[in-house]
Structure 1
Amino acid sequence: MLYLHTRTPPIAHRDLKSANLLVDSQWHVKVADFNLSRALESNLSASTLFITNPRWLSPEVLSGHPGQLAADVWAFGTVLWELATWRLPFEHMNPFQGSGLVVPAPGELPSGPCSVYREYVGLMRDCWHRIPAKRPHFDQIVKRLR
């Protein structure tokens, strides 16, 4: 995602979700399915023609605003949530009804204790900031994950 977002012009994936992340035998992740991707011009916006699955979409996209780079960051935060919980977002409700994902307490994680729980949850919540401009960029996300 860092590579896509730092191209000239930047490329917004616009359909980032766990199903579009392929993992090889060495645990390298490859981003796939670029059907909705768009190169963003100088105004850094692109219209969202249709919604394929709202579970990973940012509030601004669900409200009908253009999908920008920050919308990919929101979706990445949702993927982080999936990794922590081993669950599909909003699995027991209509995806359009989702108003926020609940982060389990450290002792409730399916994988057990996590030594960087606080930092991980902080990154996830930063990715979900309601104001798109306040979400971290992928260069910041990569640094925090390291």
Structure 2
Amino acid sequence: MRHLHEQTPRVLHRDLKPSNVLLDADSRARVADLGHARFLPDGAQALTGETGTYVYMAPEVIRCEPYTEKCDVYSFGVMLNELVTGEHPYIDTSYGPSKIALEVADGKLRPKLPESDAAVATGALVDLICRAW
């Protein structure tokens, strides 16, 4: 994603989620499914809201506000948290997609962070996840 974000114009994926990240024969991650991707000229912000998958969607996208490549960074943070916890985001709630979207947009809901005593849950990793959100 960093490579795409550094292009001129920048490329926003807008639907970054585990099923759109593939591993090749050398175990390198490859970003797939650029169907929602858009070019974003320098200094511009995207305006199409509600693009992507709610569970991984950044709050500003849900709220239909202007956004930048940071929407993909938010999605990366959700995916990284899923990798560390081994749990699908919001699996511990009884919320449906609409309720999740509303709560995320209002800043009231984020995926459950890894337990502090977990071997992989170092303070730096949890900090990275939180900064991505």
Which TM-score tier does this pair reach, normalised by the shorter chain? 0.7 to 0.9
Structure 1 segments of 4+ aligned residues over 6 angstroms from their partners: none
Secondary structure of the residue that 1:39 maps to in structure 2?
Answer: strand
Instruction: Give the percent of matched residue pairs that are identical in Structure 1 and Structure 2.
Output: 31
2:126 equivalent to 1:121: yes
Pairing of 1:30-41 with structure 2 (within 5 A): 30-41=30-41
Quote the residue 1:106 is aligned against.
116
Calculate the TM-score normalised by the size of structure 1.
0.76
CA–CA separation in structure 1 for the residues paired with 2:19 and 2:48: 19
One-letter code aligned to 1:26 = D
Q: Deviations over 1:83-140 (max 9, x none)?
A: 0111211234213323111212133x4xxx12x6111111000001xxxxxxxxxxxx
Whether the 8 Å CA contact 1:21–1:30 is kept in 2: the answer is yes
Give the aligned partner of residue 46 of structure 1: 46
TM-score, length basis structure 2: 0.83
TM-fit CA distance, 1:42: 2.9
Q: Which consecutive residues of structure 1, in runs of 5 or more, have no partner in the other structure?
A: 129-146
Unpaired stretches in structure 2, ≥5 consecutive residues:
101-108
Choose the corresponding residue for 1:96, options 95, 98, 101. Answer: 98
Query: What count of residue pairs does the alignment treat as equivalent?
Result: 123
